[in-house]
Structure 1
């Protein structure tokens, strides 16, 4: 996964993504009490800004400096710049420090050498006691995509959960399922694609010690 690849992609247009919070995060994190959050693959910053608006202090990481500069400018426009720490990381090589009440990894798919499983295990390790790891993934290519990258893997939610290698007795599985999502197709019509959500909660220290 090269910074050049993603810098070029983000430089090609004013907005690569919609500018709206990812559906999985917006749905599942809406009722979580704000604390410290880590947004992995932050892109142009929509998720981080949504969290900051809701009172979270966010560390937002992405490989692309172009994307992070766009995101920081957007955060300043929205008045939440002081609540977000934008950090450039090639997650294959470096990972943000600290422990977080929410770690969000939304659609970490790439045709360019992303070592997804170790990154998600690092994401789990960064969850503080009582905190949540939320992983949103595509379950496959939509049927309207003609040129599919066959080296991009789409594991099932059960496979994602298994590959996290979570310690027995230390986590609660809150969600592990596939679901449909509406997405606008290139011709402007609305199509359906299948995504998945894995949401796990690290037990608080007292819970883990008591075995509950």
Structure 2
């Protein structure tokens, strides 16, 4: 069985545990950081059940939304139809470590692109930067650690700081502006319903 098949199996099993895993609301940082952008073409990496993609479509964006889980994508497509924006979103299944959507985008969003299966995150985010059109924005939101009280199942996993994220993007000098690079606290509702406080980081860069 390939790594892609293992990842697909893991995430399909994860999403099949319940009829709804996440809150159905868009990520707060996405809403805050995209509010001042002119809608255009958006790419949502790791779209899950589709809340971010649906919100973007409702704001006027044309969205390509990507996930490895066929279960999540099917659920997301139904949510989009129910919200009346199904025609504005192209749902694509990708194992981002091995394939990546075609095209250039005015916004590329990677919200909590983490995995307990193998994930070439730095390489994927470099591909994400490469997909940003001139004048477009790359928005990356990530955790800075596992949830409080949860034992680290993979001691070799490193959660990068904003500076480390920017460095790993290997952005050509003089071609990008760093708009946001910060750490912050956030309240999160876990899939089981528990409410916890987490420390996350935001990176927002614009291609000149």
TM range (shorter): over 0.9
Match of 2:155 in 1: 150
Q: Which stretches in structure 2 are left out of the alignment for 5+ residues?
A: none
Match of 1:115 in 2: 120
Shift of 1:188: 6.1
| 1:164 counterpart (154, 163, 169) | 169
Matches within 5 A, 1:193-204: 193-203=198-208
Checking the alignment, whether the CA contact within 8 Å between 1:104 and 1:133 is kept in structure 2 is yes
TM norm structure 1: 0.91
Match of 1:98 in 2: 103
The answer to whether the aligner puts 1:19 opposite 2:24 as a matched pair is yes
Match of 1:135 in 2: 140
Match of 1:79 in 2: 84
Instruction: State the SS of the aligned residue for 1:20.
Output: coil
State the distance in 1 between where 2:134 and 2:112 align: 24
Match of 1:55 in 2: 60
Instruction: State the SS of the aligned residue for 1:196.
Output: strand
Q: CA RMSD in A?
A: 1.6
User: Closer, same or farther in 2 for the Cα pair 1:166/1:7, shift >3 Å?
Assistant: same
State the distance in 2 between where 1:191 and 1:45 align: 22
TM norm structure 2: 0.93
Shift of 1:184: 3.7
Deviations 1:97-129, CA, capped at 9 Å, x for gaps: 000000000001111000000000000000000
State the distance in 1 between where 2:99 and 2:192 align: 39
State the distance in 1 between where 2:82 and 2:192 align: 32
State the distance in 1 between where 2:183 and 2:154 align: 21
Size of the aligned set, in residue pairs, is: 203
